[in-house]
Amino acid sequence: MTENFDAALALLADVLMNPTFPQDELDKWKTRQRAQLEQAKSSPGLPANDLLMKLLYPDDSRRYTHPTVESLSKITRESLMQHYKTYYVPSGE
């Protein structure tokens, strides 16, 4: 691993500093998230957790512990890029 460390670090830095957020990868991620939500509905854990969080944090964003089908449809490549540009920048820039 040490012989590839510099190259790996350079690659990681490039990914972090110049993300592209490809649309096809975003679409795949959304599809996987929707499938996981559908699977989780068959387990009693998800609805129980949702109810618990709703009772503990009725008017607080902490009540949402996972994306919903509706929230997934609102995520766009442009919104991801804007969020990244706003919050994931070095403090010196």
pLDDT at 92 over 60: no
Query: Domain map of the chain by residue range?
Result: 2-87
Average of per-residue pLDDT values in the chain: 89
Q: What is the pLDDT of residue 30?
A: 96
Q: What is the pLDDT of residue 91?
A: 66
Per-residue exposure over 61-93, b if at least 16 CB sit within 10 Å of its own CB, e if not: eeeeeebeeeeeeeeeeeeeeeeeeeeeeeeee
* Residue type at position 13: A
Rg (CA), the chain: 18
